[in-house]
Amino acid sequence: MNISQGFIRKPVATAFLAIGITLIGLVAFARLPISALPTVDTPTIQVTAQLPGADPQTMGSSVATPLERQFGQIAGLTGMSSSSGLGNTQITLQFALICPGEA
C-alpha cells in the first residue's frame, strides 16, 4: 500500500485536509510579526591610536587630523567623530548600509 492510495479512495477527506492546511497557513501568515522599519545596527569601526606622553592638543593635530583626512576618502562613510586625550586618540567611523544587489 502506498501513501497516495488513501487520498485517492477518500477525495472528500483529502479536500478538507487541503482546506484545513491552507487555513492554518493563512492564519499563521497573518500573525507574522512584520516591521515597516526594522532595527538595524549601523556598521561602525572604532580606531585607536596611541602616542605615549603626548598632550591632547598634539594628539589632535599630529595624529587625529591626518587619520581623519585619510579615512574621509573611504567610500560609504557617513559619519566620523574623534576624541583626543593624554597619549591617545579614538576615531569612530560610521558607514552606510549596503543592500544586496546595490554594490
The DSSP secondary structure of 39-61, one letter per residue, reads --PPPEEEEEEE-TT--HHHIII
Structural domain containing residue 58: 44-95
pLDDT tens figures, 7-22: 899 999 999 999 999 9
- The yes-or-no verdict on residue 99 having pLDDT over 70 is no
Q: Is residue 74 in a domain?
A: yes
pLDDT tier at 102, thresholds 50, 70, 90: low
> How does pLDDT run across 29-79, given as a tens digit for each residue?
999 988 777 778 889 999 999 999 999 999 999 999 999 999 999 988 999
Please give the C-alpha separations between residue 62 and each of 54, 56, 66, 88, in angstroms, as whole numbers.
10, 10, 7, 11
Tell me whether residue 72 is in a domain.
yes
Determine, yes or no, domain membership for 23. Answer: no
Residue 15 lies in a domain: no
Domain count, the chain: 1
Distance CA 80, CA 64 (A): 11
Tell me which DSSP letter residue 88 carries: E
CATH number for the domain that contains residue 48? 3.30.70.1430
Residues 6+ apart with CB under 8 A from 86: 54, 55, 56, 59
Domain-located, residue 27: no
Cell of 101: 544587489
Per-residue pLDDT at 1: 67
Residue 16 domain flag: no
**Does residue 86 sit within a domain?**
yes
Report the alpha-carbon distance of residue 78 to residue 44 in Å, rounded: 10
Residue 84 lies in a domain: yes
